[in-house]
Structure 1
Amino acid sequence: MTTPHSIVSGGTGLVGRFIVEALLTAGHRVTVLGRKAPPDGFFSEPVAFAPMKLDPISVSTGLFEGADFFIHAAFDHLPGKYRGGEGDDAEGFRRRNLDGSIALFQAARTAGVSRVVFLSSRAVYGPCPPGMMLDESDVCRPDTLYGEVKLAAEDALTKLSGDGFHGVSLRVTGVYGPAGEGRLHKWAGLFEDFLSGREIAPRVATEVHGQDVGTAVRLVLEQSAVRVSGKVFNVSDLVLDRRDILALVARSTGSGNTLPDAGDASMVNAMSTKRLHALGWSPGGMPLLEKTVPDLLARP
């Protein structure tokens, strides 16, 4: 059996690293696209690297020669910001992240890549009534440029699908989990604030472990085209209160600092994941969170 060759853009990012690791575990040969090559030992196994900028002018079919799959996880934004990540350069943000993404999809199709997975976002849904469950069939009304760009890229990939080329979009919620070597995980600042005794505002949000995102990517690559081509899938696991996260921190560290007040989970728009579960996806839930928090605390 031929070893599948997968190209992953943004593979050194928090989410991209989990995707690369999931593909390596599944036996794929992986090439990472990005601005900088990953440092030695960044991944559990060696990967190839090819330089890439999210710029439609610089994209070429040569990036995808010999590849079976392309997973597009790269996104250009201000550090630490997705919504509002365009700063004062909305036109450049759109050119890089929308025009650049479409150019990559087109180049992959021309090069003979059979399947593309695009990492989209729950931001495509836009504001919804409090407590409403988000379903892939809902009409999307994004209220941020970030959400607009993600939705437009989804639509472009769907329109390109057909004739042996199959696009799939994953609408991913907040992703947690350990970061790569020398990098901070997403809750590092929250943990530091709590352990330092600072006041923490209540907040409830939807979360999914990066490991479960990697599994979702692997699953949609393994399905028959008829089950996934041109479709979107929500990727979310927990409706998670900061108080519950920090209670795990307190238990692991013995801290007696005051926990924040509980947030109002009834106001959160959770994401239905029935479509993804039908493919065999089963996220880690609270047991994985309870295992992950002590691991995050143990990391420098």
Structure 2
Amino acid sequence: MTRVLVSGGGGLVGRFIVEDLLGQGYQVTVGGRTRPADGLFSNPVGFAPLILDADLDQARAFDDVDHFVHAAFDHLPDKYRGGEGNDPDGFRTRNLDGTVQLFETARKAGVQRCVFLSSRAVYGTQPVGTLLTEETPPHPDTLYGTVKLLAEQALAAMARPDFVSTSLRITGVYGAALPGQPHKWQTLFSDYLAGRPVEPRLATEVHGRDAARAARMMLELPSGEINGKVFNVSDILVDRHELLKLLQVATGCPHPLPAPVTDITPLLMETRRLRGLGWTPGGRDLLARTIRSFYP
């Protein structure tokens, strides 16, 4: 049985990866500060203490591990961009130096494949109308994006035939890994259902299960197709008008919707590279089904 260590596996995004791997018969160990609560996952998982600290020897976490998926990130609660708060140096040290040290430790331990969850934030500021491809020159305009890009580059430099290394530039992840678990729109939906005003906003989205499948593909595809590469992981461009309209249909809530967004500021991410390897996300049908599942 293939053994996978998932750092940050107890997080909102990491849970999707763990659940996907469990469903495909992998033996999964969650790496993190604390052991996952009972019942967090559909099947039993192992646990390995693991933190983002470049000064610690954490080689034991990689004992008997075949693959490593790095989904952990240390930031202020509910914040990524701006998640450094008033400690940018510590933020960079933990999330860059700590991450690179984990990559090095995994390589030295004989881990065969390493997948890093990066972000569309690496692209930063781009001219309006730019289609973001993996060849688009990155210009991160946040510390979060800068740290993700530098970690990508460090991992790519380690890529070898015996250490297959890939980064996934993932956009906003929605959905719940298991019924009843938290999702990122809970506050937004609560505000709308309570009649509180909601500001218009447009964003790129991908369901967590589709993101998780992309991560698993990096463990299963021929190494020559993925080694040392980055892949965009995105699905649909959705504004809050459309999103809350689906919620309105699911709940019958009569509150007015925010205005549709006409200024399409977010830049679309091209996913042709990943789709060419067989990845097909769920699109708007999956979005609608997901929202209905929150309000059965």
Indicate the residue corresponding to 1:167 in structure 2: 165
Q: 1:146 aligns with which of 124, 144, 147?
A: 144
How many Å apart are 1:184 and its aligned residue? Answer: 2.9
Report the Cα offset of residue 180 of structure 1. Answer: 5.9
* Aligned counterpart in structure 2 of residue 15 of structure 1, from 13, 16, 40: 13
1:287 aligned residue: 285
Is residue 52 of structure 1 aligned with residue 38 of structure 2? Answer: no
Equivalence for 1:258: 256
Q: CA deviation at 1:65?
A: 1.4
Tell me the distance in 2 between the aligned counterparts of 1:40 and 1:196: 32
Q: What pairs up with 1:269-280 in 2 under 5 angstroms?
A: 269-280=267-278
Relative to structure 1, is the Cα distance of residues 263 and 220 closer, same or farther in structure 2, using a 3 angstrom cutoff? same
The match for 1:110 among 108, 111, 114 is: 108
Deviation, structure 1 residue 110: 0.3
CA distance in 2 between counterparts of 1:115 and 1:153 reads 16
Is 1:186–2:184 an aligned residue pair?
yes
Q: Which residue of 2 aligns with 1:228?
A: 226
Amino acid in the other structure paired with 1:184: P
- Letter of the 2:5 counterpart: I
The whole-number CA distance in structure 1 between the counterparts of 2:38 and 2:79 is 28
Q: Number of residue pairs matched?
A: 296
2:132 corresponds to 1:131: no
Gapped regions of structure 2 (runs ≥ 5)? none
- CA distance in 2 between counterparts of 1:97 and 1:113 reads 21
Give the partner amino acid of 2:244. L
1:33–1:52: 8 Å Cα contact kept in structure 2? yes
Match of 1:211 among 188, 209, 223: 209
Q: Structure 2: how far apart are the matches of 1:78 and 1:197?
A: 28
The whole-number CA distance in structure 1 between the counterparts of 2:40 and 2:229 is 32
* Equivalent pair of 1:241/1:265 in contact (CA under 8 Å): no
Tell me the distance in 1 between the aligned counterparts of 2:23 and 2:180: 22
Q: Partner amino acid for 1:51?
A: P
Q: Deviation at 1:36?
A: 1.0
Distance 1:52 1:124 in 2: 25
Question: Does the residue aligned with 2:213 lie in a helix, a strand or coil?
Answer: helix
Who is 1:246 aligned against? Answer: 244
The answer as to whether partners of 2:12 and 2:182 remain within 8 angstroms in 1 is: no
Give the CA RMSD over aligned residues.
1.3
Counterpart contact for 1:166–1:229, Cα < 8 Å: yes
TM-score normalised per structure 2: 0.97
Query: In 2, Cα distance between the equivalents of 1:152 and 1:180?
Result: 33
Q: Which one of 153, 156, 168 corresponds to residue 155 of structure 1? A: 153
- Asked if the contact 1:185/1:296 (under 8 Å) is kept, the reply is no
Structure 2 counterpart SS, 1:30: strand
Q: Write the distance in 2 (CA, Å) between the matches of 1:54 and 1:118.
A: 14
- Aligned counterpart, 2:3: 5
Q: Which deviates more from structure 2 when the two are superposed, residues 127-136 or residues 229-238? A: 127-136
Contact 1:115 1:165 in 2 (8 A): yes
| Matched letter for residue 225 of structure 2 | R
Indicate the SS of the match to 1:32. Answer: strand
Moved more, 107-116 or 192-201: 192-201
CA distance in 2, matches of 1:92, 1:58: 15
Percent same amino acid among aligned pairs? 53
Q: How far apart are 1:210 and its partner, in Å? A: 0.3
The structural deviation recorded for 1:59 is 3.8
SS in 2 for 1:247: helix
Alignment partner, residue 24 of structure 2: 26
Cα deviation for residue 129 of structure 1 reads: 1.6
In the alignment, is the contact (CA less than 8 A) between 1:177 and 1:296 conserved in 2? no
Decide which moves more: 192-201 or 58-67: 58-67
1:88 CA drift (Å): 0.7
Classify the secondary structure of the residue corresponding to 2:250.
helix
Judged with a 3 Å threshold, the aligned counterparts in structure 2 of structure 1 residues 57 and 272 are, in CA distance, closer, same or farther, namely same
The answer to which of 123-132 and 29-38 deviates more is 123-132
Separation in 1, partners of 2:86, 2:264? 35
The Cα offsets for residues 240-285 of structure 1, whole Å up to 9 and x where unpaired, read as: 0111110011111111110110012633201000011011000010
C-alpha contact 2:130 2:268 (8 A) present in aligned 1? yes
Correspondent of 2:85 among 84, 87, 92: 87
SS in 1 for 2:84: coil
Q: TM-score, normalised by structure 1?
A: 0.96
Question: Deviation at 1:296?
Answer: 2.1
